[in-house]
């Protein structure tokens, strides 16, 4: 095995790790966003958990970040929550999810 082959394997392993990390972070941030949105909607307990879980499972398909933000902002529009607020909250949730995943590794 040449140095080039080893280097290629290293890059492939890093890419796979990074993709897995981003998948987990996206799922966790969507769950956190869903729990926040459920609270805004006045849901609690199983209803809040179900709302958050549905947001995660719906996004596992081919939903983009914009589609997630659109869905949540549509649900919260009657509560006076703007799309921009939801987008900012999703960014906060993503940072929180990444921090949680880092803490889980240690």
Report the pLDDT value the prediction gives residue 73, as an integer from 0 to 100. 95
Task: Provide the mean pLDDT of the chain.
Answer: 90
Contact 71, 54 (CB under 8 A): no
Q: How far is CA 20 from CA 11, 15, 17, in A?
A: 14, 9, 5
Asked whether 24 and 101 are in contact (CB, 8 A), the reply is: yes
**Nearest one of 103, 87, 106, 94 to 24, comparing CA atoms:** 94
pLDDT at 105: 76
pLDDT lower than 70: segments of the chain? 62
For residues 61 and 11, give the distance between their C-alpha atoms in angstroms, rounded to a whole number.
27
Which domains can be identified in the chain, with CATH numbers? 3-105 (1.10.790.20)
Q: What is the pLDDT of residue 9?
A: 87
H-type alpha helices, 41-82: 45-60, 65-76
Query: How much is the pTM?
Result: 0.84
């Amino acid at each position: 095995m040449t140095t080039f082959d080893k280097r290629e394997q290293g890059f492939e392993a890093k890419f796979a790790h990074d993709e897995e990390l981003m998948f987990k972070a996206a799922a966790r941030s969507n769950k956190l966003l869903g729990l926040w949105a459920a609270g805004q909607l006045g849901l609690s307990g199983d209803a809040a958990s179900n709302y958050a879980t549905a947001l995660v499972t719906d996004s596992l398909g081919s939903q983009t970040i914009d589609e997630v933000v659109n869905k949540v902002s549509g649900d919260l529009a009657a509560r006076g929550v703007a799309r921009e607020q939801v987008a900012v909250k999703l960014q906060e949730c993503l940072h929180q999810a990444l921090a949680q995943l880092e803490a889980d590794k240690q």
